[in-house]
Amino acid sequence: MTAGATTRPDTSRVVVTGMGAISALGNDAATHWSALREGCSGIAGLVHPRISELRVHVAAQVHGFHPEAHFDERLLALLDRVSQFAIIASKQAVAASGWSPHGTPASRIAVVVGTGVGGETSRDDECRKLYADGAARVHPFSIVRAMASAPASQVAMAHGATGPVFAVSSACASSNHAIAQAALMIRSGIADVAIAGGAEACLSFSVLKAWEAMRVLADDTCRPFCQQRRGLVLAEGAGMFVLESLAHAKGRGATPIAELAGVGMSSDAGDIVAPSASGAAAAMRAALASAGLAPTDIDHINAHGTGTPSNDVTETQAIRETFGRHADRIAVTSTKSMHGHALGAAGALELVAVLCAMRDGVVPPTANFLSRDDACDLDVVTGLARPMAIRAALSNSFAFGGLNAVLALTATSG
């Protein structure tokens, strides 16, 4: 099955050995997964100090998170919420992997973190002080909190990574593009280990207003692939992973969760918002080719599945274009129905779902599903989670601006 992947030497095969997450569903990967598996949605009433001035009233926010319990006062002053999420998820991932960064030359450790906008709530706060309150100056840490690369730098500092470290920004595909860059660096021999994923925490007043203006937000909940879907639901959170070469994992006796066998990327080069089925299909085909997989090897797809009228129809067409008749044999789900659309963190929160689905042999349902839309005629898992063995899976991210990134995962036989 994994002919292309398994013919590569162990030094250029990439496995995932640890994962961490913080989301509306829970403040660690196990809680996040447990809720997904049960079909529990984290979408709830938006909590915001200026809620009365907003039309958006639902979101998937991180609650019960106390940063002061995780960071000392001096460090906390430097951290926007997005960096806090990234560091916390990365520490979970490293702990779960059983890997000690001290056991690997620091220059062989990479960090790549995807984020749509970086330290947005810090930027919004300081702009409010400046423009609305008439303040004469802003906080001296404004830049280091807000810069889009702050989460990557902070994760690198937390783990002593001195290899390639950078941020990737491609809107809602940021996580998948970041994970892809990390995997390609390991494949090419630039790094042995990478801490990679995505983080987003951009539910500021100005960003919420901007999303309202786009008229793509659901006013009830997120219902991907469902006839009654009314749009996406904004979210926040982070997902981080320890990726390493199979040789490095074997060398320390680690058990991989799954192999990140391939990545596929494409650009629609068409419309700044309207998705293209051919662009999405090109990314899925590229991921299969990169992994050495045939379309018939894929048992499961964690769809981009935003719940907007156009995405879900276009993604259905793209899956059909890529898989032909085999599309009917693929269990498709959109976990955005539960963790919401965390934008630059979306792919990472979804990769946690894919890895756990493969590990546990169960596909989580698409929650909030009411009735089938004939234009989305895939085998969408609804209701209860579906127990099934998963040989290989894809995780799709298709961003505004036509930026597509797909990850291909294969089961490891140990």
Partner 1 sequence: MNTDVASRILDIVARQSGKDRAVVTTGMTLKELEVDSLEAIETVFEIEEAFGIQLADDQNRTGTDTLQDLIAAVEAALAHRDGPANSAHAA
Evaluate the CA torsion angle 71, 74, 80, 83 in order and state its sign. negative
Instruction: Give phi and psi for 92, each to the nearest 5.
Output: -60, -45
Query: 32, 248, 304, 339: which is the annotated catalytic residue?
Result: 304
Nearest distance from residue 228's CB to partner 1, in Å?
12
Show the DSSP H helices in 275-339 as ranges: 277-291, 309-323, 336-339
172 is catalytic: yes
219 near partner 1, judged by CB under 8 A: yes
Encoded one letter per residue, x for contact with partner 1 by CB under 8 A and - for no contact, window 232-271 reads ---------------------------------------x
How crowded is residue 325: how many other Cβ atoms within 10 Å of its Cβ?
Answer: 9
Let me know: does 173 contact 268? Beta carbons within 8 Å.
no
Q: Using CB under 8 A, which of 67, 98, 295, 309 touches partner 1?
A: 309
For residue 273, give every residue at least 6 positions away whose Cβ sits within 8 Å of its Cβ, in sequence order, or none.
Answer: 214, 400, 401
Encoded one letter per residue, x for contact with partner 1 by CB under 8 A and - for no contact, window 11-50 reads ----------------------------------------
How crowded is residue 237: how many other Cβ atoms within 10 Å of its Cβ?
Answer: 33
Q: What is the rounded CA–CA span in Å between residue 411 and residue 358? A: 7
Q: Which residue has the tokens 């009654």?
A: 228
Q: Toward partner 1, which CB reaches closer, 136 or 272? A: 272
341 is catalytic: yes
Q: Using CB under 8 A, which of 3, 47, 76, 273 touches partner 1?
A: 273
For residue 392, give every residue at least 6 positions away whose Cβ sits within 8 Å of its Cβ, in sequence order, or none.
Answer: 1, 2, 261, 291, 293, 297, 298, 299, 408, 409, 410, 411
Q: Using CB under 8 A, which of 50, 63, 310, 377 touches partner 1?
A: 310
63 is catalytic: no
Q: Using CB under 8 A, which of 42, 151, 231, 264 touches partner 1?
A: 231
136 near partner 1, judged by CB under 8 A: no
**Total number of residues binding partner 1 (CB under 8 A)?**
15
Active site residues: 172, 304, 341
Which residues contact partner 1 (rule: CB under 8 A)? 55, 212-215, 217, 219, 230-231, 271-274, 309-310
